[in-house]
Structure 1
C-alpha cells in the first residue's frame, strides 16, 4: 500500500516536533542559569508530589567541582529543606564549613510536580533572587513546551496507528 498524503503530513509533524530534545533543553537551561547569575554552578531539583523528597535532576558544575557542591548537596540537608518549602531559599557562603553560597527559586510549572532552579558559588542578594526567579519562569515555559511537544508526538503516533488499523 502506498503511503497517503496524510501519512506524509503526520510524519512531517512528528519529525518537526521531535527536534525539541527535553534533556538537552534542561542541560542548556542549567548552564544558562549559571551564566546569567555569574556563577559556576546551577541545577534543577525535583520535589515529589507529597513534598517529602527532593532529588537533583540536573547539575552544571565546573570541571573538578572545586567548591564540592555535588557532595554539599548530598550532605548539607538543603534537599530536605527544598522538599519542605515552596519559597526561595538563600544560604550564605561560609568557606570555613564548606558552604558554597546557594540560591534556589521555585520553578512555576503548571503541568509537572514542584521543582526548583538553583545556583551556587557566592553570596546572593534580592536582585539575584529576582533575576533567577524571572529566569525560572522562562525555563518553566520552555520545559512545559518541550513536554507538550512530547505529548503531541505520542498523540500523532496514535493517529498513525488508528489510520493503519482503520485502513484509511
Structure 2
C-alpha cells in the first residue's frame, strides 16, 4: 500500500482529538473541585431539561464515605432542590442530624442538560461559593471542549470513510 499523506494526517488528528476521555475528565474535575474546596467530597449532578428530576452523574468521596454523603444525596431531598435551582445552593452543616454541609454551583453548558458541580463535607461561606462558581465556569468550558472534540472525531471519521481512495 503506498504512503498516503492524507490518511496519516487524518489518523494523527483523530488520535490527538481522541485523547480526552469524558469519564476521566469528569473524575479529574470532581477531584479538583474537592481539593479547591478543601474537602473530600465533590461531584456532578445533572438535571433533566424540564427541571423535574436530578441525578448524580459522578461522586468523588473518601474511601468508605465516612460522612455518608452518597446516602445523603439519595435520601435528603437535595436532588429535588437542585432540580429547580438556577443559582448556587448552600446547605449548612449539622452533624447532629446528618447534614454534611453542601455547596453546589450551576455549570454553564450550552449543549447539555442543566448540570451542577457540588462539594460537601464542611461548612461553606460566601468565599467558597464564589470560588466554586468560578471553578464551575472552567469545568463547563472543559466539558464543552471535550464534547466538541468527540464531535470532531466523529466528523473526521466520516470524512476519512468517504474520502476516495
**TM value normalised by structure 2:** 0.97
In the other structure, the counterpart of 1:124 is 124
Q: Matched residue of 1:123: which SS?
A: coil
Aligned to 2:38: 38
Partner Cα separation in structure 1 for residue 66 and residue 118 of structure 2: 17
Note the residue ranges of structure 2 that are not aligned, 5 or more in a row. Answer: none
For the pair 1:62 / 2:62, whether they are aligned, the reply is yes
Alpha-carbon separation, structure 2, partners of 1:133 and 1:39? 16
Q: CA deviation at 1:5?
A: 1.2
Deviations 1:101-133, CA, capped at 9 Å, x for gaps: 000000011121100000000111110000000
Q: Distance in 2 between matches of 1:6 and 1:54?
A: 45
**What corresponds to 1:72 in structure 2?**
72
Structure 1 position 4, deviation (Å)? 2.0
Deviation, structure 1 residue 53:
0.8
* Corresponding pairs, count: 165
Secondary structure of residue in 1 paired with 2:96: coil
Task: State the SS of the aligned residue for 2:45.
Answer: strand
User: How far is the alpha carbon of 1:3 from its aligned partner?
Assistant: 5.4
Q: Write the mapping of 1:17-166 to structure 2, written as runs, cut at 5 A.
A: 17-163=17-163
Q: SS at 1:158's partner residue?
A: helix
Query: What is the DSSP-based 3-state SS (H/G/I as helix, E as strand, rest coil) of the residue aligned with 2:117?
Result: strand
Tell me the CA shift for residue 2 of structure 1. Answer: 3.6
Distance 2:7 2:52 in 1: 46
**TM-score w.r.t. structure 1 length?**
0.95
Q: CA RMSD in A?
A: 1.0
Q: Which runs of 5+ in 1 are unaligned?
A: none
The structural deviation recorded for 1:77 is 0.5
- Mapped partners of 2:86, 2:2: distance in 1: 55
CA drift of 1:19 comes to: 0.9
Partners of 1:154 and 1:36 in 2: CA distance: 34
